Amino acid sequence: MKSIYFTQFKGPLSVFDNPIPDPTDHGVVIKVEATGLCRSDWHAWMGHDLDIVLPHVPGHEFAGIISAIGNAVTNFKVGDRVTVPFVCGCGKCTYCLRGDAQVCPTQTQPGFTGFGSFAEYVAIDNADFNLITIPQEVSFATAAALGCRFATAYRGLIKRAQLEAGESVVIYGCGGVGLSAIMIAKAQGATVYAVDISDAALEVAASLGAQTINSKAVGAVQFLQKLGGVDVAVDALGSQATANASVLSLARGGRHLQLGLLLTPDGLTAMPMARVIAWELDLLGSHGMAARDYPEMLALVASGVLNPSLLVKREVGLAEGAIALAELDNQAFGGITIIKP
């Protein structure tokens, strides 16, 4: 099978022929119909994730058709249209049994703990626990756009921050995660502010109904505090600057939601804890969403209340996808790129 492949971190990305995987007893092999290009894939290629063993095939948000199943799989069959969360649980631990597979201690992640979806086929274990059936009304490209960014933003805003209609929210960073958060927050009935330095990204944010702030020209924190601060602030990029700005944009009693990965040499990030204490702020995280929680989100997508297809701005093949992956940290592209192997 053809796949995007690298043998060293930050090294050449090439389209390479690898063997089609076989399913485990409890697993399946999925023919990938669409897979999203995410900043986390760039982090994988850069060597920022300690789980990755070289050589490697990245890719972690995808949708496709089951092509082979293990003999212990009972809930799915060859030909089913499926997707998976980017965090797959073991299905047996305390966290999985209570519905929190996204924090499973022995979790697997396609594209990180094993070969991923930038390929014609991908193998997934514990299929009965981790697979999600895609409604016929939802395209493969739309389902692929849900797997990491959209699901993480959805659970973060709806389940963790418990965003309510009439509240205000600011989103720092208008990449795939940020744009997903904007769409979800608007559908929830919130007033949404979007902050970025890319005019292209802010144009997309505005098209989704956000009031935009180019932080190269306007101090976002000062602007928002003049309005009294926001109820919920989201760092959808993941940096020291955006995380702190998010916290400092909150009104008293507000909720900060960290969606962007914060990568530092020691794994620690300085936060304005004096403000957190004095203003009684909440600091929240979201690490994807368990398979059991997908039906609620998929129903909103199928009904048109949420329309992640609006975030898909281009579709490319594997060769062009390899180029786009290497350039991901430098481009100011507004929207999601879908790779079709």
Low-confidence stretches of the chain (pLDDT beneath 50)? none
Same domain, 143 and 12: yes
Strands (E) located in the chain: 2-5, 14-17, 28-37, 62-69, 81-83, 121-124, 132-133, 168-172, 191-196, 211-214, 230-235, 250-258, 282-285, 312-316, 336-339
Residue 211 in contact with residue 148, Cβ under 8 Å?
Answer: no
Angstrom distance (rounded) from CA 74 to CA 25: 11
Residue 313, token pair as written in the block:
């701005």
**How far, CA to CA in Å, does 51 sit from each of 48, 106, 111, 162?**
9, 12, 10, 32
Angle between helices 39-46 and 318-326 (to 10 degrees): 70
Distance of CA 51 to the CA centre of its chain: 18
The domain boundary residue, chosen from 263, 285, 307? 285
The domain boundary residue, chosen from 242, 268, 285? 285
Same domain, 278 and 313: no
Same domain, 155 and 144: no
Angstrom distance (rounded) from CA 209 to CA 278: 33
Same domain, 108 and 213: no
Same domain, 100 and 30: yes
| Coil/strand/helix, residue 77 | coil
- pTM here is 0.92
| Coil/strand/helix, residue 175 | coil
What's the CATH number where 101 sits? 3.90.180.10
Which of the 8 DSSP states describes residue 314? Answer: E
- The number of CA neighbours under 13 Å toward the Cβ of 16 is 14
* Nearest to 20, CA basis, from 64, 52, 51: 64
Could you read off the pLDDT of 171-212 as tens digits, one per residue?
Answer: 999 988 999 999 999 999 999 999 999 999 999 999 999 999
The whole-number pLDDT of residue 316 equals: 97
Same domain, 191 and 325: no
Biggest CA pair distance of the chain:
62
Same domain, 297 and 277: no
Domain extent, residue 108, equals 2-148+289-339
Same domain, 144 and 9: yes
Angstrom distance (rounded) from CA 232 to CA 234: 7
Residue 234 in contact with residue 194, Cβ under 8 Å?
Answer: no
The domain boundary residue, chosen from 285, 303, 330? 285
Amino acid letter at 300? L
| Coil/strand/helix, residue 241 | helix
Residue 214, token pair as written in the block:
């180019």
Domains held by the chain: number = 2
Same domain, 210 and 140: no
Same domain, 212 and 254: yes
What's the CATH number where 275 sits? 3.40.50.720
Same domain, 154 and 278: yes
Residue 292 in contact with residue 97, Cβ under 8 Å?
Answer: no
Residue 107, token pair as written in the block:
């979790």
Residue 87, token pair as written in the block:
């965090």
Residue 83 in contact with residue 34, Cβ under 8 Å?
Answer: no
Same domain, 162 and 106: no
| Coil/strand/helix, residue 201 | helix
The whole-number pLDDT of residue 331 equals: 64
